[in-house]
Amino acid sequence: MARPATATDTVPQTEIPSAPPKLIVPLGRGSRGKSWWARWAVERAQSQGREVVVADADRTNPTLSSYFDDVVTPPSADDRDVREWLATFIEAQIEQRFTGVLDLGGGDLILKRIAREMSLVDFLGQHGIQPVAVHLLGPDADDLAYLRDVETDNLFAPEATILIFNEALVPLHRTPRAAFTETVQAHPILAKTLDRGAKLVWMPRLEPAQDIDTRRLTFAAAEASQVKDGQTPIGPWKRQQIATWRRAMETAFAPVADWLP
């Protein structure tokens, strides 16, 4: 396992950008698409020439190291190690002024504890880091539990908050609009969060998602059929589906582009 980030070696020294660096944290229950979305967001930033530090603190299913180089991870899954590692990571971010994507395990409680103890949103803002909360939601009312918890008493409720309805979690026999309208979209916590300035995004389903995951490919590589040695190439039909999905993602997330890495 990689050693924790330090203030001197997390990323190469770069010029301070005009926009504030961001700490982007995908949140929610397990298997809601947090790591999937993080992969897309980081790949998008890198393809557009923006450097992003990927911090993988998912203690049950750390996968981002399979897709990106130089991913930083805690030295162990122990709470004490993760807390110390996260503190060091944020201090390095404050000093070096880089944007980071922090991937936590589904329902991990450590962010809630640190957010409460440190007044994390205010702390980051005081040091010129923009916190971005990204909630991945399916059409299940229980998916709103984490959102409710962090919104209560502004525990981790930054101005930049994205609520993502993940259409991939909708059963194939249902339409996404109907599935979400009948459940989470009618819940008071969703309306309250939107009323305070959060933005809602519908994330489209990608049918050949499993073809990409099993090969551990980036989306761009999958679209270009750049498979690894010994892998079966992805056919032209599915590559076109991937290309269409990537364009749809750009359109869907255009209203929150300023909050992305």
| Domains in the chain with CATH codes | 22-207 (3.40.50.300)
Q: For residue 17, what pLDDT is reported?
A: 46
Q: For residue 110, what pLDDT is reported?
A: 87
Q: For residue 11, what pLDDT is reported?
A: 44
Q: For residue 61, what pLDDT is reported?
A: 75
* pLDDT tens profile 167-189: 999 998 889 999 999 889 889 99
Q: For residue 106, what pLDDT is reported?
A: 66
* pLDDT tens profile 107-155: 678 888 999 999 999 999 999 999 999 999 999 998 999 999 999 888 9
Q: For residue 65, what pLDDT is reported?
A: 84
Q: For residue 152, what pLDDT is reported?
A: 86
Q: For residue 15, what pLDDT is reported?
A: 46
Residue 252: its H or E element: helix 236-253
Q: For residue 107, what pLDDT is reported?
A: 64
Residues in the chain with pLDDT values less than 50? 1-17
Under 8 Å between Cβ of 139 and 90: no
Average pLDDT, the chain: 89
Q: For residue 66, what pLDDT is reported?
A: 84
Q: Please, which residues have CB within 8 angstroms of residue 119's CB and are 6 or more apart in sequence?
A: none
Q: For residue 13, what pLDDT is reported?
A: 44
Q: For residue 12, what pLDDT is reported?
A: 41
Using a cut of 0.85, tell me whether the model's pTM lies above it. Answer: yes
φ, ψ for residue 8, nearest 5 deg: -110, -15
Residue 151 backbone class (left: φ over 0; alpha: ψ -120 to 50; beta: rest)? alpha
Q: Please, which residues have CB within 8 angstroms of residue 171's CB and are 6 or more apart in sequence?
A: 179
